[in-house]
């Protein structure tokens, strides 16, 4: 007989997406089983973590994992991007990023989850699953043994290996990454980023005393060339890496094709994809790990909502909306950043990446259609209005106000105590997304005070009964600036 096990959630894969979800689900009181196919620590690319990672670790009560090892915090950067002159961006301007040993960090996160009650099968490979009345039945393979796990949910966090090309749509042109180590004694103790005509290069000292260097180029560059030749040729034409390129040993080079993609059906019957099993991001921003973990936190809110309230539709909409938002905002940011690079539009590498890209999906699912619609060009933002609050408050105080005719009130899911609940949000062409709260204050009840004959001043006074006066003024000016709260004298 094969061993049987029942749980609320089965997670597949112990990368940052899987363990982040496990830690949060355990904190919310759910039973979690995780299967990881590799023994840890295993090598893993992606060691430069963006500043936003810190508040995720704080939230998981895992801050200690970023400080207990000999990781590098707050490196300065030398950057050649929008001009051919190197710029120094100091650590304070870059924000508090951290260079880690990913294999070690992933192991530390997994150990922490086990201390907090995770049941782990490792090394154990997830092989298959089938739907049952109450959820899913999965088969795990550990050595020669098959383990059966019954769960309400499966969270698939298998990374890039976790899905087939036919279920993905590309959201950027494919790129080739080639990486190796340059002699650390010839390199500065800074992060280096340089745009070249054929692609871009990133390098950084690593906590184990090496200098990791990755080049990102178009696949066509490898045609008729060997990987070491392309790597050396690219480095030798740079300003920042050129000197060390001559002393470089070619024996440790690795390469992969970087596909940037989204899964076209990331949620099917309580089978949810997380991290790079759901979507991957262009490595330009070094935010892959942060975005994977942030998305796991949102997926956990959806799972928790179903387990505690049964509201599946609302949970699925929330999960899909957050994923679409994450992909589209990142894609618009990266294409804008590629467009600023000095080589410019006459070079195919830069031209192709300077506009948001989404491929045709072989299977145009409802999710794909919503994602594609979000890729239409973002609204041009007008120049920021600088408001002299004292002066404007005096000027507008007796002005009559009314609400914009383009304002729509809409029921929308909001996260309240780790569960989704419907709240009335406002929707307006000048807002990037629906908004139910502003500075933690629910907006729609405030707007009901914008009744007939109300003035800017009477509204501020009315709101100051609920929130401090300064906050009431800030909220009024935010809504006025967006033309949601309108005065005759704008
Ligand atoms: C060239 C390159 C450079 C990058 N650089 C950066 C960077 O500097 N900073 C950054 O933040 N991000 C970077 N990234 C992205 C980053 O690596 C990923 O965002 C991150 O690893 C995704 O985490 P994950 O948990 O989704 O997947 P992974 O970290 O890949 O974890 C998936 C886990 O699932 C396990 N698994 C797979 N199949 C099975 C199975 N059948 N059964 C059980 N377990 C299974 C795997 O063994 C693995 O441990 C880079 C990516 C690339 C390609």
| Ligand 1 centre distance from Cα of residue 157 (Å) | 9
| Ligand 1 centre distance from Cα of residue 344 (Å) | 31
On whether residue 294 sits in a domain, the answer given is no
On whether residue 304 sits in a domain, the answer given is no
pLDDT at 17: 98
14 lines ligand 1 (CB under 6 A): yes
pLDDT at 139: 97
DSSP per residue over 268-289, as a string?
ETTEEE-HHHHB---GGGS-HH
Q: Which of 11, 12, 15 to mutate to test the pocket of ligand 1 (most atoms within 8 A of CB)?
A: 15
On whether residue 340 sits in a domain, the answer given is no
Minimum-distance ligand 1 atom for the alpha carbon of 278: 26
Reduced to 3 states (helix: H, G, I; strand: E, B; else coil), residue 330 is helix
State how far the Cα of 471 lies from the Cα of 469, in Å rounded to an integer. 5
177 lines ligand 1 (CB under 6 A): yes
The set of residues, in sequence order, having a beta carbon less than 8 Å from that of 237 and lying 6+ positions away, is 196
**Helices 312-339 and 366-374: angle between axes, nearest 10 degrees:** 40
State how far the Cα of 193 lies from the Cα of 215, in Å rounded to an integer. 10
Instruction: Report the run of H or E that residue 79 belongs to, with start and end.
Output: strand 77-80
35 lines ligand 1 (CB under 6 A): yes
pLDDT at 348: 95
| Ligand 1 centre distance from Cα of residue 388 (Å) | 48
Q: How many domains does the chain have?
A: 1
Q: Chain centroid to CA 178: how far?
A: 23
pLDDT at 214: 95
Q: Pick the closest to residue 222 from 213, 231, 214 (CA basis).
A: 231
| Ligand 1 centre distance from Cα of residue 215 (Å) | 18
CATH of residue 404's domain is: 3.30.390.160
On whether residue 470 sits in a domain, the answer given is yes
481 lines ligand 1 (CB under 6 A): no
State how far the Cα of 290 lies from the Cα of 468, in Å rounded to an integer. 35
pLDDT at 104: 95
**Token pair for 257:** 């094709």
State how far the Cα of 185 lies from the Cα of 178, in Å rounded to an integer. 21
Reduced to 3 states (helix: H, G, I; strand: E, B; else coil), residue 304 is helix
Instruction: Output Rg (C-alpha) for the chain, integer angstroms.
Output: 25
Q: Which of 159, 256, 293, 327 to mutate to test the pocket of ligand 1 (most atoms within 8 A of CB)?
A: 159
The whole domain housing 404 covers 389-487
Q: Which of 34, 138, 158, 180 to mutate to test the pocket of ligand 1 (most atoms within 8 A of CB)?
A: 158
On whether residue 453 sits in a domain, the answer given is yes
State how far the Cα of 45 lies from the Cα of 476, in Å rounded to an integer. 47
Strands 4-12 and 32-35: parallel
How far CA 408 is from CA of 18, 103, 357, 484, in Å, comes to 38, 48, 31, 10
Q: Which of 10, 11, 12, 13 to mutate to test the pocket of ligand 1 (most atoms within 8 A of CB)?
A: 13
11 lines ligand 1 (CB under 6 A): no
Reduced to 3 states (helix: H, G, I; strand: E, B; else coil), residue 355 is coil
pLDDT at 381: 58
How far CA 289 is from CA of 37, 106, 119, 159, 294, in Å, comes to 20, 11, 23, 11, 9
Strands 145-156 and 271-273: parallel
Q: Pick the closest to residue 207 from 68, 412, 80 (CA basis).
A: 68
Strands 136-142 and 145-156: antiparallel
State how far the Cα of 175 lies from the Cα of 203, in Å rounded to an integer. 17
pLDDT at 450: 66
CA angle 35, 38, 43 (to 5 degrees): 130
pLDDT at 1: 54
56 lines ligand 1 (CB under 6 A): no
Tell me: the pLDDT tens digits for 69-88? Answer: 889 888 899 999 999 999 99
Residue nearest atom 35 in ligand 1 by C-alpha distance: 13
Residue nearest atom 4 in ligand 1 by C-alpha distance: 46
**Token pair for 324:** 């679409």
On whether residue 187 sits in a domain, the answer given is no
- Residue ranges of the alpha helices (H) in 343-408? 348-353, 366-374, 389-396
pLDDT at 451: 67
Instruction: Report the run of H or E that residue 109 belongs to, with start and end.
Output: helix 102-115
On whether residue 20 sits in a domain, the answer given is no
Reduced to 3 states (helix: H, G, I; strand: E, B; else coil), residue 464 is coil
Q: What is the pLDDT along the chain (490 residues), one digit of tens a residue?
A: 567 899 999 999 999 999 999 999 999 999 999 999 999 999 898 889 999 999 999 999 999 999 988 898 888 999 999 999 999 998 888 888 899 999 999 999 999 999 999 999 999 999 999 999 989 999 999 999 999 999 999 999 999 887 777 889 999 999 999 999 888 888 999 999 999 999 999 999 988 888 999 999 999 999 999 999 999 999 999 999 998 887 777 668 999 999 999 999 999 999 999 999 999 999 998 899 999 999 999 999 999 999 999 999 999 999 999 999 999 999 999 999 999 999 999 999 999 999 999 999 888 899 999 999 988 755 555 566 777 888 889 999 999 998 999 999 999 999 999 999 999 999 999 998 889 999 889 999 888 876 667 899 999 999 998 899 999 999 999 999 999 999 875 5
On whether residue 426 sits in a domain, the answer given is yes
Q: Which of 106, 207, 276 to mutate to test the pocket of ligand 1 (most atoms within 8 A of CB)?
A: 276
Q: Give the count of beta carbons closer than 10 Å to the beta carbon of residue 62.
A: 18
343 lines ligand 1 (CB under 6 A): no
| Ligand 1 centre distance from Cα of residue 81 (Å) | 27
**Token pair for 214:** 């990755």
Round to the nearest angstrom and report the end-to-end CA distance of the chain: 76
pLDDT at 378: 57
């Amino acid at each position: 007989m094969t061993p049987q096990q029942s749980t609320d959630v089965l997670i597949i894969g112990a990368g940052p997406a899987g363990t982040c979800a496990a830690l949060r689900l355990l904190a919310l009181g759910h039973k979690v089983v995780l299967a990881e196919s590799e023994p840890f620590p295993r090598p893993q690319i992606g060691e430069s973590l963006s500043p936003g990672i810190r508040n995720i670790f704080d939230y998981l009560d895992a801050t200690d994992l970023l400080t207990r090892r000999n990781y590098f915090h707050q490196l300065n950067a030398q950057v050649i991007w929008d001009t051919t002159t190197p710029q120094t961006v100091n650590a304070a301007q870059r924000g508090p990023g951290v260079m880690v040993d990913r294999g070690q960090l992933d192991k530390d996160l997994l150990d922490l989850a086990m201390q907090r009650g995770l049941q782990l099968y490792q090394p154990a490979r997830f092989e298959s699953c089938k739907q049952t009345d109450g959820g899913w039945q999965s088969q795990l393979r550990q050595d020669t043994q098959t383990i059966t796990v019954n769960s309400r949910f499966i969270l698939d966090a298998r990374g890039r290996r976790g899905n087939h090309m036919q279920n993905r749509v590309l959201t950027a042109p494919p790129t080739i990454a080639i990486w190796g180590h340059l002699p650390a004694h010839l390199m500065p103790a800074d992060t280096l980023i340089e745009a070249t005509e054929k692609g871009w290069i990133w390098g950084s000292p690593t906590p184990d005393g090496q200098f990791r260097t990755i080049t990102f180029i178009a696949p066509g560059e490898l045609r008729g060339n060997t990987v070491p030749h392309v790597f050396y040729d690219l480095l030798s034409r740079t300003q920042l890496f050129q000197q060390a390129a001559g002393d470089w040993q070619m024996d440790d080079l690795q390469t992969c094709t970087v596909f940037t993609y989204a899964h076209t059906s990331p949620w099917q019957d309580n089978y949810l994809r997380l991290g790079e099993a759901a979507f991957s991001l262009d490595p330009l921003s070094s935010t892959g790990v942060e975005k994977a973990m942030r998305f796991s936190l949102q997926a956990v809110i959806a799972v928790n909502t179903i387990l505690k309230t049964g509201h599946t539709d609302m949970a699925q909409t929330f999960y899909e909306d957050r994923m679409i938002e994450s992909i589209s905002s990142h894609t618009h940011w990266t294409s804008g950043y590629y467009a600023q690079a000095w080589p410019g539009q006459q070079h195919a590498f830069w031209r192709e990446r300077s506009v948001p890209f989404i491929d045709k999906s072989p299977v145009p699912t409802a999710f794909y259609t919503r994602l594609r619609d979000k890729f239409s060009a973002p609204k041009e933002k007008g120049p920021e209005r600088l408001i002299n609050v004292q002066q404007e408050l005096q000027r507008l105080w007796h002005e009559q106000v009314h609400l914009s005719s383009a304002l729509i009130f809409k029921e929308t899911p909001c996260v309240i105590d780790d569960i989704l609940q419907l709240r009335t949000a406002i929707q307006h062409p000048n807002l990037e997304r629906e908004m139910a709260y502003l500075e933690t204050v629910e907006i729609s009840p405030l707007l009901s005070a914008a009744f007939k004959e109300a003035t800017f001043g009477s509204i501020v006074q009315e709101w100051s009964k609920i929130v401090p006066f300064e906050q009431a003024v800030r909220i009024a000016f935010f809504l006025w600036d967006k033309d949601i709260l309108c005065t005759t004298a704008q």
